[in-house]
Structure 1
Amino acid sequence: MAHTNFKFQKRQKELDRKKKQDEKALRKQQKDTDPEAEAEAEDSPMADTEITA
């Protein structure tokens, strides 16, 4: 039987963790640099759900 390559699995897990951290940092940076765009994005779904009588 073949042995499990734990070093490969560990490296893949580390790469996934690093990728996730980079994406999180990028989202945080975008949030800090452009708060108005985020506010507009939050308001737009509410505009579509207005109740007209």
Structure 2
Amino acid sequence: MATPNYSYEKRQRELAKKKKKEEKAYRKASGAGSDAPADEPNAQGAPAGGDAPAEDKAPGQA
């Protein structure tokens, strides 16, 4: 039987925490008061910035 890969699980938790923190910072910077604005393009869980592919970013962002 295979042993659990604890370092992989830890890395996934760290990535989820980082993503949540970035989304919170993005919402704060955009001035949105609610958790899920209707017109926000990144509401589906895409990262707000960082190393996201260009096609995942909203139009007008470089």
TM-score (norm 1): 0.58
Residues 2-48 of structure 1: per-residue CA shift (max 9 Å, x gap): 000000000000000000000000000001xx78xx8xx8xxxxxxx
Q: CA RMSD, aligned part only?
A: 2.5
Matched residue count: 35
Tell me which of the two structures has the higher relative contact order, counting C-alpha pairs closer than 8 angstroms and 6 or more residues apart. Answer: 2
Matches within 5 A, 1:1-53: 1-31=1-31
Gaps of 5+ in 1: 42-53
| Structure 2 unaligned blocks of 5 or more | 38-62
State the TM-score, normalized to the length of structure 2: 0.50
Q: Hey, what's the Cα distance between the residues in 2 that align with 1:27 and 1:6? A: 32
